Chain A
Amino acid sequence: MSTEWLDVFQNGGLLKKTVVFAAKADSEPERLDMGHRVHVRYRAKVLPNGNVQGPPPASFEATEGAGVSLLPNKDNGNNPDEVKGMILGHNDVLPGLDMGVALMVVGETALFKIAPKYAYGEQGW
């Protein structure tokens, strides 16, 4: 079960879809905010050019693309699971992830499709 894709900025630049919901808690899960410190486990792939304007992919596995590290100077295309601590709103990670993670709740797993302008832009690295 998963949700529909959410077009965060209504411009196709940052899409979010929940793939695993957080376990039901007794109380409403605390919302994240700027300045919160979070830990995430993530894996990433570069979408082939043809996919950029195409429909959002169904799942991470079912999507064609090369595994890539989001941490510069670290080639871990073959070891894609990374855990990273970051402070929201601090520019610790690419903008799409900084803003996207702020929309999550603890325990949730989400897919993000991030356009270059919310990722590494024209430059790459």
Chain B
Amino acid sequence: MPADASLLVEVELLEGAPLPDVDELEDGERIELAAAKKERGNWFYVRSDHESAVGVYAKGIKFLEDFPPKSPKAAEAKALAAKLHGNLANCHHKLGNDALVLEQCAKSLAIEPGNSKALYWQATIQAKRNDTEAAIKTIKTLLQHDPQNASARSLLQVSMEIKQS
């Protein structure tokens, strides 16, 4: 798509109806809708439109709230919700909203304690706030779950040096 493009679009409206309340949707449909929001949010993220990405990711999470825990798709829903919260944390970091980063990390970790993105962003904010002890603890948790995580290892190294100095 070229820059500054004016478009001509022909649209046929095939169907349209109110979206049912979330608890009336099929489990699979909820996951599909949330996954589409994740994709769309990623698209805005890549364009550095972090505000729009936040709005879209947040809508995705709405489809997964109070997901039936006994559903065969419950694990999938949990993993997706943890990812969406992790992506929200990332966006809030870009927007400089540290408190919201921590809030989203906490939500992500409540769902999936080992979510490496959430742990990474949590540690980043803790380090930024000079809470070095907490940052080191968070990174060690992250490395237990994801030993190969290179950014985490370099963050750990920096934090250890700060602690020793």
Contact = CB atoms under 8 A, between A and B. Distances in A.
Interface of A: 19-20, 30, 32-33, 35-47, 51-52, 57, 60, 63, 65, 68, 70, 72, 83, 87-88, 90-92, 94, 96-97, 100-101, 104-116, 119-125
Contact of A87 (B1, B13, B19, B43): B19
Chain B interface SS verdict (over half): mixed
Contacts of A33: 18
Nearest to A118: B7
Interface stretch (B52-60, B88-96, B101-109, B145-153): B52-60
Interface residues of B, number: 30
Given A96-B7, A112-B10, A116-B6, 11 more contacts: A30-B16, A37-B17, A37-B19, A40-B11, A46-B5, A52-B6, A68-B1, A70-B7, A101-B11, A113-B6, A114-B9
Q: Taking each of B4, B13, B47, which has the highest tally of chain A beta carbons within 10 Å of its own beta carbon?
A: B13
Nearest to B3: A124
A106 B16 contact: yes
B7 A46 contact: yes
Interface string B67-87: 000000000000000000000
A97 B11 CA distance: 9
Interface in B9-46: 9-19, 33, 36-37, 40, 43-44
A30 B16 CA distance: 9
Interface of B: 1-19, 33, 36-37, 40, 43-44, 47, 52, 55-56, 59
A52 B3 CA distance: 13
B60 to A, nearest CB: 10
A40 B52 contact: no
A110 B59 CA distance: 28
Nearest to B36: A92
29 contacts: A30-B16, A35-B18, A36-B16, A36-B17, A37-B18, A38-B17, A40-B13, A42-B11, A43-B9, A44-B7, A44-B8, A44-B10, A47-B6, A47-B8, A72-B43, A87-B19, A91-B52, A92-B40, A96-B9, A100-B9, A111-B10, A111-B11, A112-B7, A112-B10, A112-B11, A113-B7, A113-B8, A122-B4, A123-B47
